[in-house]
Amino acid sequence: MVEGLTKAFGPQTIWRDVTLTLPPGEVSVLLGPSGTGKTVFLKSLIGLLKPETGRVMIDGVDMVNDPDRKVYEARKKFGLMFQDGALFGSMNLFDNIAFPLREHTRKKEPEIRRIVMERMEMVGLGGAERKLPGQISGGMRKRAGLARALVLDPKIILCDEPDSGLDPVRTAYLSQLLIDVNARIDATMLIVTHNIEIAATVPDNIGMLFRRDLVAFGPRELLLTSEEPVVAQFLHGNRHGPIGMSEEKDAATLAAEAEAEARDRTRKRGFEIPPQLRPTEGMPVRQAEQRHAARVDQLMPRLPYAAQQAILAHRNHPMGGGADGRS
């Protein structure tokens, strides 16, 4: 649970009074233009950065205000997948992935080997344990970073722009892999990304940061059907809207754009929502999918009509999984 979180660097407020709850076991995505502090938010969740106000509660531990000893122990419940994999160039993949186990546990080497090999198989890296990071593709480095994030059996997995540097095909494979991992371990996942394809097909929930605020957080259909100007602009990649090259536009610019659009009268079609990815055939059923459906049923009367219709449509026409997570 995140409550009233505010972070600043000197006089510059990055975001303020952010409050949200990541539903247990579900996959959530955090969107936002460049410079809105999405990576800072992830680092604040695990206590690497200290917000000015607010709290982050993980199993009774406040990652913001509790003593460092408690925060350090609670941090082991997180797995963090960095943008570039953050692998040690001088270590082979096995030693990179084994590093958290050797650093934070007293497990013997045979047990470490068993865990590492299991995680490497899970992400499609079986047989690559002796390779160095410089000898493999960017997609493989991403998957090695994910395997390392999984070795401590985290309850929460944070993925910082996992699609960064990947082509659309590798991004599609990675998206399927994240869903398959969620199906296998039922961990809560938060993915920071700019990628609309990931946001539209992977998560159960989406949030968006803009102008130092959390604009919204809820079921993915809520944001993907949103008429909020900043959300619609971001989804369409449109120049017209509150997001500018310098992050925010002034009132005069926004008024001029609105007048031009009124004269034009040609409007883009609404964002077409694809079905959510399902686990690859042979994978376990996602437990989170059932919990999410039950939770959304309770929210349904309070959701806009467009979001309700999108939810009902996708329940009747789910997307089957088919990728194997390899790149």
Residue 74: its pLDDT value, please?
93
Edge-to-edge strands of the sheet including 2-9? 12-20, 2-9, 53-58, 61-62
- The tens digit of pLDDT for each residue in 237-267 reads 878 778 876 555 455 555 555 555 544 433 4
Dihedral angle at the C-alpha atoms of 233, 239, 241, 242, nearest 10 degrees? 100
Looking at every residue in the chain, the average pLDDT score rounds to: 87
Determine which helix (DSSP H) or strand (DSSP E) holds 61, and give its type and residue range.
strand 61-62
Encoded tokens for 8 = 């600043």
* Distance in angstroms (rounded) separating the CA atoms of residues 147 and 121: 9
The answer to whether residue 145 scores a pLDDT higher than 60 is yes
Helices 109-122/93-104 angle, 10° precision? 130
pLDDT tens figures, 72-111: 999 999 999 987 768 899 999 999 999 999 999 999 999 9
The stretch 27-50 carries a mean pLDDT of: 91
CB atoms near residue 232 (< 10 Å)? 18
Tell me which of 5-9, 148-152, 185-189, 225-229 is least confident.
225-229
pLDDT digits (tens, 9 = 90+) for 101-118: 999 999 999 999 999 999
Give the per-residue pLDDT at 111: 97
* Mean pLDDT across 316-320: 61
- Provide the H-helix boundaries in 22-163: 38-45, 68-75, 93-104, 109-122, 138-150
* Contacts of residue 133, Cβ cutoff 8 Å, sequence gap at least 6: 85, 87, 88, 89, 91, 93, 96, 141, 144
What average pLDDT does the segment 59-64 reach? 94
Model pLDDT for residues 202-211, shown as the tens digit of each residue:
999 999 998 8
Is pTM beyond 0.85? Reply is yes
Conformational region of residue 256, where left means phi above 0, alpha means psi within -120 to 50, and beta covers everything else: alpha
